[in-house]
Structure 1
Amino acid sequence: MFFAANSLHRRLSIALGALAILVGLLGSLGTFLVVRSLATEFNASLRDAASHVQTGVPHPASARDAQRRLSDDLVVQIWSADDGDTPTRTSNRSVALPRGPAGFATIEYDGESWDVFGLAAGDEFIQVAESRSVRNRNAIRVAFWSLLPVFALLPLLVLTIAITVRVSLRPLERMGRRAARVDLHHLQPLDLARAPVELRPFLDSVNRMIERLSVLVNAERKFIADAAHELRSPISAMQLQIDNLRDAPPDQYAERFAELKRGIARTGSLVSQLLGLARAEIGSAQRVLVDVPLPQVVSDVVADLLPLAFARGVDLGVERLDDASVRATESDMRVLVRNLVDNAIRYGGEGTQVDVSVRSDAGKTVIEVLDNGPGIAEADLPRVFDRFFRAGANDVEGSGLGLAIAQALAGSYRGNVTLANRADGRSGIVARIELPRQPQA
């Protein structure tokens, strides 16, 4: 990721690293110049001290009211064997430092600290001393000149960092503007070709969300178009029936009023199924899941549909009921089972036998609706779950939404609905609902 072409990490690391290196180099250069200057001054002090150690050469500071120079802070004293407390040779007679021990030591003289080093050389004792104040002054100078380039570069550093961060984060602004243009009329995925590497996982999620939203929007648009198409015919029929009723002779009022009533009932049923399909596909965040006993649901649905089955000459019954339950809402399970059984009754024809069973398999619950009707043409099987599609005879009363609603409900519980012709050599349909034991709505 660090070496990626479009990487915020790489851009910021290179830019800020280069600035840090530049500041470090300038600081090092300033320190070098200060140290070199101090070395020059120290060499001059050594030269002056060495020249004034010679016997008979007076030190400028020895004169009355003489001004002290930097070289006065470095004093060289040499004691001979017959010297007393005062050395015979010294680089500055105005500084009469007492004789210290051999090696390093600190001497207090005239209210000032001196760092001294003493060395015995034969009959002579050599002592070199330096004022503590000059060391402190040199340390402050080194620190000041070392920090001066840093402080001088701080405004440039802040400005450069601000520009670098703004330029590096400019792809975020472009992605934000592109995302702001996404709406229901412009559901195009975001272009990831020039997106920073660090943002691609997030943008991938946004694109997947846009794709899911596009599928939902297209499905809803198709649903509205299909609903408008399907509602146009019954509404037109009702308008015609109203006109016929208005112009009908008195002795035909009852008959034409009954036709109008049946048309209104069919339209109301279609609208109810459309709403049911919308609820099934969109789902509801307010679902309260409970343990729904499927044997009781199947028994109730069969009892409710027995009058319809009797009227159509269909033998409706229950074949097997295992003790099984699922986490769902009872109303959803009733609609799911009812739509499949109702579909078998309506399309099976007179004399058909419809058997419903509930089985518990490994990790799932299966509700099966088996009939011995005419079956479905193999070419129509892939379309049986399409909205408003009715296989076989189109004169069967219905809207073609029952299986679509069942599939949407099962999918909302992580389940599935399948429809297939029987494979045991007999005609008929096997409709199967498979639900996990603990589905998550």
Structure 2
Amino acid sequence: MDGLNRRLNDSVQLKLSFTLSLAILVVAIVAGVFSFLSAFDEAHELQDDVLRQVAQLMDLQRLSPAPPPTDARLKDVDEESRVIVQRLGEVNPSAAGVDAGGTLPLPTTLADGLHTLEVGGETFRVLVKTTAAGERIAVAQESGFRNEIARDGALRTVMPFLILVPVLLLIVADLVRKMFRPIAALSREIDLRADQELHPVEDRHLPVEVRPFAVAINRLLTRVGQSMESQRRFVADAAHELRSPLTALSLQAERLADAEMSGLARDRLTVLRQGIERGRSLLDQLLTLAKVQSAADLPQSPVSVQSVYRRVLEDLMPLAEAKHIDIGVEGTQDAQVWASEMDMIAVVKNLVDNAIRYTPEGGRVDLSVGTAEGRAVLCITDTGPGIPLSERERVFDPFYRTLGSEQIGSGLGLSIVQAIANRIGAEVRLDFSDREKQTGLDATVLCPASARRC
């Protein structure tokens, strides 16, 4: 019982359905009992009228009850429709029972009117009447048959309740479920939204009672959007403002490198220039992350994956050559995806840059593209150490870097890739390129190639 009460308190839909069903059942039971009793009494009244009509007919036609016949065929007469008419106080000379067609042993002292008497272990309804000729007659009918007929008639009256109440309960349950369907649809729509989808929910199809809740959600989404936009603007502005000082420091370091200095000073200058370069790279990544997290218009034309690969390789080929890494595109197959060219370049560039940085000297980085199940499949495979299974979820967090990594980086590359993938509807998968040795990284990006979004 406590579980039912808890479920009723937790669910408005269940509480409403239970309350309406209980009310319908109570009303149906009360109405059914009242209808049954009314029909039962009315049937008895009609049966009493039959006795009165028979007595009136005997009086008007000046008929006198005949002595009971002794023919055995009377036993085959329908007892339910049999009406006994006799003179009051008449004795059956054959001593035949009532069921055999005999008369009832009624006392002569009965007053005129209707009586319910028990005769010979059976109950009879008896009407006593004095005719115009001064003769007293009795018209009787067995009460058991009368009650059975009245009960059958009353049950037929109540039968519609027994059929319609379950149907009404099902209709009420279905109506309540349909009434709450817009709320469930709104819940699913909000739950399926991506992190950046903060546009207002549609509230025109919602009930008036729920519409204020949707309006409050829209106001909250607006405030969250403003807060996120303010945060992105701050990051972009801060990164932009820091670029000028870092550029100036980089120029000063280059000029300082041309001056004569000791070996120790030159080593320290090299470390300083590496730190400045790392800071500039971090600012560029912050600006890119702030840009990709902002809402963007849908592209108007498809982008060739092979052309994106070529542009990325042109930019990163010097980095690969410096580490003697064999890098290139496998195959000539191409795929067209609906996405911004800058977004696709950012995705591929960050994945290839990570592959080059984490692949040891003399390693290999391969780029390929294919199609599977209506999606374009972009693969960047390297022979580096790979990413352990325990860290594959964390590597998409901003500023997170794999434990034990000695490579210089900002920890924002995969965060940028994930942010772009979420916004354009792509999926990023990470796996070992060599599953037996559990080394290397196989980064796969799947984009729907046939839709107007990647």
- TM-score, normalised to structure 2, is 0.45
Instruction: Give me the TM-score of the superposition, normalised by structure 1.
Output: 0.46
